[in-house]
């Protein structure tokens, strides 16, 4: 079940990435929902996903 939530979170973040405010809101929700090791995986994924999306860099402050 937990793995499904992680994959679902990635899908949601991809779908809302057009808006940095929505992306930050969904990221906050994910950080509350996911297990600690999933948060670490999500951090890695987000850094890779936002590498060419400078408008989303603001949200990286949430995961530090």
Cβ atoms within 10 A of the Cβ of 44, count? 9
Q: At what angle do helices 20-33 and 36-49 cross, to 10 degrees?
A: 160
Residue 18 DSSP SS3: coil
Domain count, the chain: 1
d(CA 43, CA 26): 14
Q: Give yes or no for residue 1 having a pLDDT over 80.
A: no
Q: For 16-60, where are the alpha helices, taking DSSP H only?
A: 20-33, 36-49
d(CA 64, CA 1): 26
**pLDDT of amino acid 2:** 59
Q: What is this structure's pTM? A: 0.89
Parent domain of 51:
2-63
């Amino acid at each position: 079940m937990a793995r499904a939530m992680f994959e679902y979170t990635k899908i949601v973040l991809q779908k809302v990435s057009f808006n940095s405010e929505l992306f930050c809101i969904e990221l906050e929700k994910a950080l509350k929902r996911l297990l600690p090791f999933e948060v670490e995986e999500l951090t890695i994924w987000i850094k890779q996903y936002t590498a060419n999306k400078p408008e989303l860099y603001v949200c990286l402050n949430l995961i530090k």
